[in-house]
């Protein structure tokens, strides 16, 4: 979760404002939302992902399912794919997840009933970057119609995203081989500070004529973690297919949570549908993204100033909340035991944990770990 | 072409269909008796005062929005278990239970269904009363369970087919799962009397069945939270370790906030810890962790003495209004000159009433009187008010005389 420079959770000012508006609105009650969620939320959430001028929206071939966070959107999408993707029983359809990925991806698809879950090459530990060739090779050799889980931006946990040119190559192979793109978009806006930039990959695939799913989370970019605000955006070839798909998604939702929680969706819908509140929100998002970007550049410059062995440009080239530092498990253990700096054995650090007050200490500690432990 | 070319259009929801037709109707006297949510005497949704107060208190505390634990808000789950089991419950004292926050009744039922599918190896058969809430079947089916039934409702008397139920239950294979509605049976409104519950508990215990209680109306049925939880508590006292799904949608009016809980009674606290760890593993790939807003409100109410007192009064007043409407409907039917026995309307309890009306009669009520209900003759008494109960009685008399 995001932290301020004081190391505290941050409720976005626009969220505070909108919550007050909601509290003061006596016409609002706690009645059930429709099964697919609050209509104003669904439409605005998908519009944010696909862009105001999306051809898919213009052609009325998109659908939205309000979900319990990004996880809920992934699960509903997975359950639907298992029932309806390529024929009526997709338990044997291969699902490809990046190596590494958010560890819950695997569990979501296993529990949705998929039996053949594989990994695709992604992180090149040696060069500390994207293993593009490995990725493309896996796309070429995957069985036709396989499902690929793609991180829309700010890859978790590596922070390493394909460049636009690399996305184009990925898309070309996926199109030729009839592979299904299932995007996980948990950091739109939060990654670069620009909603459009962080949605570039999803929109590119749409412009290339793909049918796709995009699981969106508003946990980070709205700071609404515990309100469980998510959305599954469905892009189809035609309106009728999407309608039928949504009617089946309703059935899945009905046996999972019946209808989604209203508070978080109201906050997001109110914010996104008001030009003024939208601008305020954008400013809040940029505040968060800029702080993380600042921490990245400050950490890198300190490491380079200290002469810490190795190259550290990956710290600023990576994006989003997390960074794969390249520290090995022994060095990580040193950081935890000797320096009381907590990070994962994979070397992943949460950039949000850095503050102007602890930058020096963290940089020195990394320097020690790298020089003392091999 | 599209990946979804072969996807069939899902069947329309029967209850939603009622509301859709109601909305299109231009008759000023129209009544929507399909609604599954409480309405006040003006036919409006009701936000409880204690809920508004709790919301104000929460807003003033300026709490953060950090993720809840996977199992939910501890103050809420603890209070929820205590509400169901009673504060003096030996189960609570010994800690031999686990309660996790769920997405209202549906989400709690589903967590339990998934848990049973994964860990109840003796059987995957779930016995539902005939009839049961329409969503029970697909929930258990999607969790991989098989559905069976036991006799429950007697359409001839519009009441409990007690001997049929005892007969069927005593034949259920040992170690099967039996689902029972704790109070205010949905859709019939027919609940066993306490002596009948005692007999049912004895049969269930003899058959060594796992009892899954669905309690969506505690407090809302009789107006008394302890009375409505009597069956659950009795079964536990008889040594039957139940699992329980609770909803706070109706009794706190928190429908859209999705407040619920799932409880497993265990042999001891150590077993409860192991069960909890497995529930977390089930929940994480569903939605990671539950929504905060409603749970905070419910927790504030249950744990703040003044608010809790106020809540008990408000839930009783909702239950009383429903009971009052039942009484008025019967007396109005008498006034209309109906010679039928309508006692079941006041014998039944909770939000719903199985009127005993036949499909043709329901059809006439819809077409001739713009009174909307489901084909099975179920009405939501919550949709009845002092302003329209006379019209309803008149219409029912017209189609049944």
β partners of residue A67: A230
Q: Which pLDDT band holds residue B19 (cuts at 50, 70, 90)?
A: confident
Q: What pLDDT sits at residue A350?
A: 95
Domain CATH code at residue B342: 3.90.1150.10
- Verify that B82 and B20 share a domain, yes or no: no
B62 has pLDDT over 90? no
A169 has pLDDT over 80? yes
Question: Is there a catalytic annotation at residue B214?
Answer: yes
Which of B303, B332, B360 is at the close of a domain? Answer: B303
- Verify that B275 and B323 share a domain, yes or no: no
Identified catalytic residue from B214, B228, B311, B342: B214
Q: What pLDDT sits at residue A87?
A: 85
This complex has an ipTM of: 0.95
- Verify that B212 and B299 share a domain, yes or no: yes
| SS3 state of residue A118 | strand
Q: Per-residue DSSP letters for B223-274?
A: S-HHHHTHHHHHHHHTT---EEEEE-TTTS--GGG-EEEEEEE-SSHHHHHH
Q: Is B364 among the domain residues?
A: yes
CA distance linking residue B37 with residue A67, whole number of Å: 22
Q: Mutate which of B46, B65, B252 to disrupt the A interface (most A C-beta within 10 Å)?
A: B65
CA distance linking residue B289 with residue B76, whole number of Å: 14
Question: Is there a catalytic annotation at residue A220?
Answer: yes
Query: Which CATH number is associated with domain A32-273?
Result: 3.40.640.10
A234 has pLDDT over 80? yes
Tell me what the mean pLDDT of segment A158-186 comes to: 97
Q: Is B79 among the domain residues?
A: yes
Percent of chain B with pLDDT over 90: 96
Full domain range(s) for residue B205: 67-303
Please report residues of B whose CB lies closer than 8 A to that of A24: none
Which of B271, B303, B335 is at the close of a domain? Answer: B303
- Verify that B334 and B391 share a domain, yes or no: yes
Identified catalytic residue from A123, A138, A161, A220: A220
Q: Which residue has the tokens 């329980």?
A: B244
Percent of chain A with pLDDT over 90: 97
CB atoms B287 and A75 under 8 Å = yes
How many domains is chain B built from?
2
- Verify that B135 and B266 share a domain, yes or no: yes
Which of B249, B275, B303 is at the close of a domain? Answer: B303
Tell me what the mean pLDDT of segment B322-336 comes to: 97
Q: Is B171 among the domain residues?
A: yes
Choose the closest CB to B4 out of A30, A84, A252: A84
Extents of the domains making up chain A: 32-273, 290-372
Q: What pLDDT sits at residue A97?
A: 98
CA distance linking residue A366 with residue A372, whole number of Å: 10
Q: What is the mean pLDDT of chain A?
A: 96
- Verify that B40 and B87 share a domain, yes or no: no
- Verify that B19 and B80 share a domain, yes or no: no
Tell me what the mean pLDDT of segment B61-83 comes to: 97
Q: Which residue has the tokens 């609050």?
A: A38
- Verify that B232 and B332 share a domain, yes or no: no
CA distance linking residue B192 with residue B212, whole number of Å: 16
pTM of the complete model:
0.96
CA distance linking residue B306 with residue B50, whole number of Å: 9
Q: Is B35 among the domain residues?
A: yes
Percent of chain A with pLDDT over 70: 100
β partners of residue B354: B378
Question: Is there a catalytic annotation at residue A102?
Answer: yes
Domain CATH code at residue B130: 3.40.640.10
Q: What is the 3-state secondary structure (H, E, C) of A150-219?
A: EECCCCCCCCCCCCHHHHHHHHHHHHHCCCEEEEEECCCCCCCCCHHHHCHHHHHHHHCCCCEEEEEECC
Q: Is B58 among the domain residues?
A: no
Q: Which pLDDT band holds residue A311 (cuts at 50, 70, 90)?
A: very high
Burial class (CB in 10 A: 0-12, 13-18, 19+), B174: exposed
CA distance linking residue B117 with residue B279, whole number of Å: 12
Tell me what the mean pLDDT of segment B226-232 comes to: 98
At A183-222, the pLDDT tens digits run 999 999 999 999 999 999 999 999 999 999 999 999 999 9
Q: Is B8 among the domain residues?
A: no
Q: Is B256 on the interface with A (CB under 8 A)?
A: yes
Chain B CA closest to residue A259? B256
Chain A CA closest to residue B250? A31
Tell me what the mean pLDDT of segment B171-198 comes to: 97
B36 has pLDDT over 90? no
Tell me what the mean pLDDT of segment A53-73 comes to: 98
- Token pair of B332 as six digits: 């109005």
Pick from A71-80, B10-19, B315-324: least confident: B10-19
How many pairs of residues across A and B have Cβ atoms under 8 Å apart?
A: 182
CB atoms B257 and A262 under 8 Å = yes
Please report residues of B whose CB lies closer than 8 A to that of A248: 7-8, 10
B16 has pLDDT over 90? no
Q: Which of residues 172-231 of B touch A (CB under 8 A)?
A: none
- Verify that B31 and B86 share a domain, yes or no: no
B13 has pLDDT over 80? no
- Verify that B139 and B246 share a domain, yes or no: yes
A37 has pLDDT over 80? yes
At A313-347, the pLDDT tens digits run 999 999 999 999 999 999 999 999 999 999 999 99
At B108-126, the pLDDT tens digits run 999 999 999 999 999 999 9
B175 has pLDDT over 90? yes
Query: Which CATH number is associated with domain A290-372?
Result: 3.90.1150.10
Q: Which pLDDT band holds residue A127 (cuts at 50, 70, 90)?
A: confident
Phi-psi region of B40 (alpha: psi -120 to 50; beta: other; left: phi over 0): beta
CB atoms B106 and A250 under 8 Å = no
| A94 within 8 A of A147, measured Cβ to Cβ | yes
Please report residues of A whose CB lies closer than 8 A to that of B290: 68, 228
Please report residues of A whose CB lies closer than 8 A to that of B118: none
CA distance linking residue A257 with residue A262, whole number of Å: 13
At A259-301, the pLDDT tens digits run 999 999 999 999 999 999 999 999 999 999 999 999 999 999 9
Q: Per-residue DSSP letters for B63-116?
A: ---PPPPTT--HHHHHHHHHHHH-TT-HHHHHT-EEEEEEEHHHHHHHHHHHHH
Q: Which pLDDT band holds residue B365 (cuts at 50, 70, 90)?
A: very high
Q: Is B296 on the interface with A (CB under 8 A)?
A: no
Q: Is B5 among the domain residues?
A: no
At B379-400, the pLDDT tens digits run 999 999 999 999 999 999 999 9
- Verify that B289 and B371 share a domain, yes or no: no
Q: What pLDDT sits at residue A276?
A: 98
Please report residues of A whose CB lies closer than 8 A to that of B110: 255-257
Tell me what the mean pLDDT of segment A144-166 comes to: 97
Tell me what the mean pLDDT of segment B12-33 comes to: 88
Q: What pLDDT sits at residue B396?
A: 98
- Verify that B202 and B153 share a domain, yes or no: yes
Q: Is B219 among the domain residues?
A: yes
CA distance linking residue A186 with residue A217, whole number of Å: 5
| B265 within 8 A of B242, measured Cβ to Cβ | yes
A50 has pLDDT over 90? yes
Q: Which pLDDT band holds residue A88 (cuts at 50, 70, 90)?
A: confident
B341 has pLDDT over 80? yes
């Amino acid at each position: 979760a995001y932290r301020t420079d004081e190391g505290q959770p941050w409720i976005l000012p626009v969220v505070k404002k909108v919550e007050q508006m909601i509290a003061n609105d006596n016409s609002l009650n706690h009645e059930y939302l429709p099964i697919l969620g609050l209509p104003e939320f669904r439409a605005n959430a998908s519009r944010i992902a696909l862009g105001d001028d999306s051809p898919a929206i213009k052609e009325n071939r998109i659908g939205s399912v309000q979900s319990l966070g990004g996880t809920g959107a992934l699960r509903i999408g997975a359950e639907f794919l298992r029932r309806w993707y390529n024929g009526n029983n997709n338990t044997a359809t291969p699902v490809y997840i990046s190596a590494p990925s958010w560890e819950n991806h695997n569990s979501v698809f296993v529990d949705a009933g998929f039996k053949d879950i594989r990994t695709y090459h992604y992180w090149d530990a040696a060069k500390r970057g994207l293993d593009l060739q490995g990725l493309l090779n896996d796309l070429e050799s995957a069985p036709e119609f396989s499902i690929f889980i793609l991180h829309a931006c700010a890859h978790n946990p590596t922070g390493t995203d394909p460049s636009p040119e690399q996305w184009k190559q990925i898309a070309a192979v996926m199109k030729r081989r009839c592979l299904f793109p299932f995007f996980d978009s948990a950091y739109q806006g939060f990654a670069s500070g620009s909603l459009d930039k962080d949605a570039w990959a999803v929109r590119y695939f749409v412009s290339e004529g793909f049918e796709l799913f995009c699981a969106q989370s508003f946990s980070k970019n709205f700071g609404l973690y515990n309100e469980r605000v998510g959305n599954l955006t469905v892009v189809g070839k035609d309106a009728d297919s999407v309608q039928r798909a949504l009617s089946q998604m309703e059935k899945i939702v009905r046996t999972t949570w019946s209808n989604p929680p209203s508070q978080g969706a109201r906050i997001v819908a109110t914010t996104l549908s008001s030009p003024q509140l939208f601008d305020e929100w954008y400013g809040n998002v940029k505040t968060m993204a800029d702080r993380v970007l600042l921490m990245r550049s400050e950490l890198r410059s300190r490491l380079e100033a200290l002469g810490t062995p190795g190259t550290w440009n990956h710290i600023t080239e990576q994006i989003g909340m997390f960074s794969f530092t390249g520290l090995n498990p022994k060095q990580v253990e040193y950081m935890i035991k000797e320096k009381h700096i907590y990070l994962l054995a994979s070397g992943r650090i949460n950039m949000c944990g850095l503050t102007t007050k602890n930058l020096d200490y963290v940089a020195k500690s990394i320097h020690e770990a790298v020089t003392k432990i091999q | 072409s599209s990946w979804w070319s072969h996807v069939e259009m899902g069947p329309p929801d029967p209850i939603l269909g009622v509301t859709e037709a109601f909305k299109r109707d231009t008759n000023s006297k129209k009544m929507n008796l399909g609604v599954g949510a409480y309405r006040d005497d003006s036919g409006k949704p009701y936000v409880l005062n204690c809920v508004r107060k709790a919301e104000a208190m929460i807003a003033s505390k300026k709490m953060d929005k950090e993720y809840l634990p996977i199992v939910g808000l501890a103050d809420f789950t603890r209070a929820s278990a205590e509400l169901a089991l009673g504060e003096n419950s030996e189960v609570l004292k010994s800690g031999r239970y686990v309660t996790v926050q769920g997405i209202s009744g549906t989400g709690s039922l589903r967590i339990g269904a998934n848990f049973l599918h994964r860990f109840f190896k003796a059987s995957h058969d779930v016995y539902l009363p005939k009839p049961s809430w329409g969503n029970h079947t697909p929930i258990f089916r999607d969790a991989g369970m098989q559905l069976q039934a036991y006799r429950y409702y007697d359409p001839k008397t519009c009441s409990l087919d007690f001997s049929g139920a005892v007969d069927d239950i005593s034949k259920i294979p040992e170690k099967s799962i039996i689902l029972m509605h704790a109070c205010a049976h949905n859709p019939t409104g027919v609940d066993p009397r306490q002596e009948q519950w005692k007999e049912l508990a004895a049969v269930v215990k003899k058959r060594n069945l796992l009892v899954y209680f669905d309690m969506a109306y505690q407090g809302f049925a009789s107006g008394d939270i302890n009375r409505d939880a009597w069956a659950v508590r009795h079964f536990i006292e008889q040594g039957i370790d139940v699992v329980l799904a609770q909803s706070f949608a109706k009794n706190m009016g928190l429908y859209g906030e999705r407040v619920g809980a799932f409880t497993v009674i265990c042999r001891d606290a150590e077993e409860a810890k192991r069960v909890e760890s497995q529930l977390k593993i089930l929940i994480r790939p569903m939605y990671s962790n539950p929504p905060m807003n409603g749970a905070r409100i419910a927790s504030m109410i249950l744990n703040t003495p003044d608010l809790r007192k106020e809540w008990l009064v408000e839930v009783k007043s909702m239950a009383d209004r429903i009971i009052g409407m039942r009484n008025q409907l019967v007396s109005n039917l008498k006034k209309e000159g109906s010679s039928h026995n309508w006692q079941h309307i006041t014998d039944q309890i909770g939000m719903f009433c199985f009127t005993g009306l036949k499909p043709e009669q329901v059809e006439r009520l819809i077409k001739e009187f713009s009174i909307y209900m489901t084909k099975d003759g179920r009405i939501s008494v919550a949709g009845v008010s002092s302003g329209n109960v006379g019209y309803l009685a008149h219409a029912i008399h017209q189609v049944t005389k």
